[in-house]
Structures are given as C-alpha cells and as structure tokens.
Structure 1
Amino acid sequence: MELSIQIPQQFQEQTIRELLEQEWLVPRKVRHFLRTRKNVSINGEPALFHFVVKAGDVVTLRFEEEDYPVPATRCGDAKYVEVLFEDEQLIIVNKPTGMKTHPNQPDECDTLLNHLAAYLAPKQQLPYVVHRLDKETSGAILFAKNPFVLPILGRMLENKQIYRRYQAIVAGDLSKKQFTINKKIGRDRHDRRKRIIDERKGDTAITHVQTAEVQMTHQTAVYCVLETGRTHQIRVHLASLGHPILGDPLYHSKPKGRLQLHALELHLLHPFTKESIVATATPGLW
C-alpha cells in the first residue's frame, strides 16, 4: 500500500520525524517500520527522518503487504450507504436506525460496515471502524478508508479532537436549559446488555446537555455533546436523571417506537489537509 499526501499551504516547516510523530500522530511501531525500511519520500525522492518538509510538498509513505493484511471481502449492499463526506482517507455516513455498525459474527451481512465495504469495493478501498453507534441510534458516523489513518483518527477521538453532537427526545419536562452530567458508568452485573451509574468502579463519563427550542407535551427535546465515549453514555446519563430517552428498549420502562437518539453533527480537522469538516446528518429528529 502506498499513500501520497500533499502538505497544506498553512504548514510550518518541520522534519519528517516531527510530521509523523507530532502532526499526524502516527503510532511508534509504524514510524519504526517506515524509518528502518526507508519507505518515505518527498516529491518522489527518498527521504530520511531528519529531512525537512515544506508547504506544497508531496509526502509518500509505502507500506509492506504484511504491515496491513487485507481483511476478507464482506458482503453488503451499497444502496444503503448515505455519504455525508468522503475523500481518499476517510468517509462519514448517515447510519439508519435499527442497523448495527459492524458484524459480530463472520456470516453477518446486514451491518453498516458490510454495506460500506460494498460501496467502496469499486474503488478498491475498505472501511475501518473508528467509533460505533448503537444499533438503535441513527446519524453521522466516521470510518477510516485505510489502516494507516485508522489509529490517527482513533487518537484524535481519544484526545477530544472530534466533536459529536446528538439530538434526543426524553420523557418528562427538563427545567434546566443547560447542564453537564458527570457520572461514572460501569457494567450492570445482572444484565450484560446494560450499563449503570457506578461512582465507585465505573469509568469517567461526561455529557453536556442543552434543551432545544422545540415545544413538546411531557417530553423534552435536547442536544447532547459527548466529552467521553462510554457505551450507552447518553442513554444511561439521561435515564439516571429520571428522563430516559423515548423508545429506549433498555432504559425506558415503557418504550414505544424507535429510540429517539440521533447523531446530528460530527466535526473534525482533517488530520492531513487540516480542512475543517462538518458533517450533518439531516433531517434528524426535528
């Protein structure tokens, strides 16, 4: 596999080592192989790690076949893919409600990853999962299009460099216009599907909530922004306040209809071009 990336104009001169380590957040193991195999070039000329990169330069990285084994071709149907943003490195799509993000069994074919693989097959590309949405949750979701950019996007997610804004409709009337839920989340020992508030053993979980200007009777429309990304985080946090999300089959006592949770927006700065990407999954819940 070979990747050629043009350095953007607003780029500050730096060495190949600094570019890979600090700018592109390339994992140490990958940097080691690139250096020892001398698999880096600038504008078509072989380059060592102390060479300087400037705006407008084209940096090419070459990977051996054993570095990134190609996964088996996955079944799927491209017609289920709604693209919100796409370039050579990444793709953001609008996931329908009721569809898994990825298969859990080798013979599963009806997940978003399957359908995205079918969509990318003519381009000889493959999707790689950066993060996931629950099966019942709809909206914007990000995938890498090659295994090199996958850990870079994963690191950006960990470093809170990817902004995610959700819509939800909850039971009851929320009086506060804006607030933050900071409650640790852990596994439910009695039901492996569920998560619970567990301040003693749970993982830190922070959700920012803002009520929307939508008039509803005994229901409240809210926007949620994740600061952390725990399983079922928004669902568990809102339910812990006595305001479960409507249609939630796990955390609402009388769920009706689909889960009213939608990943409306996904923002990030492109790791290579520094382009500001804003993907909006419309129409959303309101």
Structure 2
Amino acid sequence: MKFTFTIPNSLPEMTVKHFLEEQLLIPRKIRHFLRIKKHILINQEEVHWHQTVKAGDECQLIFDEEDYPTKEILWGNPKLVEEVYQDQHLIIVNKPEGMKTHGNQPDEIALLNHVSAYVGQTCYVVHRLDMETSGLVLFAKNPFILPILNRLLEKKEISREYWALVDGRLEAKNLIFRDKIGRNRHDRRQRIVDQKNGQYAETHVTRLKLFQNKTSLVRCRLKTGRTHQIRVHLSHHGHPILGDPLYNQHSKNKRLMLHAFKLSFIHPLTLNKLSFTALSDTFERELKQNG
C-alpha cells in the first residue's frame, strides 16, 4: 500500500517526526514501521527523522501487508449507496433510515458492506448512526487513514449537525443540554438521563422553525457522542422526536425524524476544509406532512 501527496501550502516548515506525529496524527506503532523500514520518502528520497519538510514537498508513505493486514468482509449491494464525497482515502455517504451502519455479526449485511462493494475494497467505519437515523456517515477507505480520522473524532475536530422534528413548541431559540446519560437497567435498548452514574453528554440545540401543529424543527450539534444522546436529551426535556420507537412510542410518524444533516472537518492530508449537507427524500416528505 503506497500513498503519495503534496504537503499543503498552508503548512509551516517542520521536522519529519513532527509532521507524522502532530500533523498526520499517525499512531506510534505505524511511525515506528515507517522509520525502521525507511518507508517515508520526501521528493523521492529517503529522509532523516529530524529533517525539515516544507510546503510543496512530495511525500510518499509505503506500508507492507504486515503493517496493515487486509480485512475481508462480505460485499453488499453498491446500488444502495448514495455517495456525497469520495477521494483516495475516505468516502461520505447519505445513509437511509432503517439500515444499520455496520453489522453485529460477520455475516450480517449493513451499510459498511454496501459501501465496500461500491468502492471495490474493504472500508472502515469512522462513526455510526442509529439504524433508525438517516444522514451523513464517514468511512475510511484504508486502514492507514482510519486511526487518523478516529483521532480527529476523539479531538472533536469532526463537526456533526443533526436536524430533528420534535413534539412541542420550543420557546427558547438556543438551548444547551448537559445531562449525564446512562443505561436503562429495565430495558437494555434504552438510555436514560442518569446524573449520578451516567456519562457526561452535551447537546447544543437551535430552534429552526415552529409549525402550526405544535411541533418544532431543531438543529442539534454534538459536543459528545453518547449512544442515543440527541434522542434522550430531547425526550427528557419534554420534546421527544417524532417517530421515535424508543422514546416517543405514541408518535404516529412512519420514521424517526432525526437526520444527520451536516458533516464538517479539515482533511488531515490536504488540510482542505470539507463541509457537506444532505437531506433524505423520506425526511423531507415527512417534514412537509407534519409542517
């Protein structure tokens, strides 16, 4: 596996060590392989670890099979994939509701399998959406970029924005929910607000529109990534999402009205700002019917 790219103009001069460790966020084990095997070339020449690299230099990284063993998975149906963006290292797709991001068993077919078939190689999940939730999902196309994207996610440098249609009229334009979330001991499928034993969770909510039928369209930004975080916070504060089978069981909506609308981050290799938005046909249709 070999990758070649040009160091972006916006990057200041730095050592090879700093470039790999701080800029590319390459894990220590992989940096060790690159150094020992001399598998990093700058302008097609071997380099010392403390040599300086600068904007415009061509960087080539080489990985052996033992560095990143190939992972085989079952292929899905490429026709089920709605591509939003793709390059050499990653792909962003618009997931439909009712489909798992990845299977729980090796023989279970989910979005990951469909995306891998679409790309023609094994892909890797960077973040997931609940099965009932539609919207933008990021996948790594190779095991080299996966830990780099995971580090960006951990550092909260991948911004995710959701739209939700909820019961009730939100009187405040902006709200911040910081309730801790834990497991429901009586129903393993559910999460609940648990201020004593739960994990810290923070959701920023902005009211986008009020409808005549006493529902509200809201935008939610995640500062943490707990399971069912948006669904639990909105339900706990009296505004459950329409169509939510776990937290709004009396709703008559055909689908959960939660959609991952926007995904933004800085590409770790090109340093270009990537920002994408997408809606689904079913979300828009249900939105119009409820509005």
User: What is the TM-score when the length of structure 2 is the normalising length?
Assistant: 0.94
* Pairing of 1:69-218 with structure 2 (within 5 A): 69-109=69-109, 111-121=110-120, 125-218=121-214
Distance 1:77 1:233 in 2: 30
Alignment partner of 1:263 out of 237, 260, 263: 260
Q: CA deviation at 1:244?
A: 0.8
RMSD: 1.3
Q: Is the 8 A contact 1:82 1:94 kept in 2?
A: yes
Per mean C-alpha deviation after superposition, the further-off stretch among 274-283 and 88-97 is 274-283
Per mean C-alpha deviation after superposition, the further-off stretch among 44-53 and 140-149 is 44-53
Quote the residue 2:235 is aligned against.
Answer: 239
Q: CA deviation at 1:281?
A: 1.1
Distance 1:216 1:196 in 2: 30
Quote the residue 1:58 is aligned against.
Answer: 58
Q: CA deviation at 1:255?
A: 3.3
Quote the residue 1:274 is aligned against.
Answer: 271
Q: Is the 8 A contact 2:88 2:141 kept in 1?
A: yes
Quote the residue 1:68 is aligned against.
Answer: 68
- Unaligned 5+ segments in structure 1 are none
Per mean C-alpha deviation after superposition, the further-off stretch among 177-186 and 50-59 is 50-59
Q: CA deviation at 1:214?
A: 4.5
Distance 1:277 1:214 in 2: 30
Distance 1:49 1:85 in 2: 34
Q: CA deviation at 1:63?
A: 1.3
Change (3 A) 1:216 1:36: farther
Give CA deviations for 1:160-202 in whole Å, capped at 9, x if unaligned: 1111110001111211111100011111111111111111111
Q: Deviation above 3 Å: which 4+ runs of structure 1?
A: 283-286
Using the aligned pairs only, state the percent identity: 53
Distance 1:126 1:269 in 2: 23
Quote the residue 1:19 is aligned against.
Answer: 19
Give CA deviations for 1:61-101 in whole Å, capped at 9, x if unaligned: 11121121111142211111111111111111100000100
- Unaligned 5+ segments in structure 2 are none
Q: Is the 8 A contact 1:40 1:48 kept in 2?
A: no
Q: CA deviation at 1:282?
A: 2.6
Q: Is the 8 A contact 2:73 2:106 kept in 1?
A: no
Specify the code of the residue in structure 2 equivalent to 1:92.
I
Distance 2:160 2:239 in 1: 21
Q: CA deviation at 1:213?
A: 2.5
Q: Is the 8 A contact 1:238 1:245 kept in 2?
A: yes
User: What is the TM-score when the length of structure 1 is the normalising length?
Assistant: 0.95
Q: Is the 8 A contact 1:185 1:205 kept in 2?
A: yes
Q: Is the 8 A contact 2:123 2:140 kept in 1?
A: yes
Q: CA deviation at 1:216?
A: 3.7
Specify the code of the residue in structure 2 equivalent to 1:83.
E
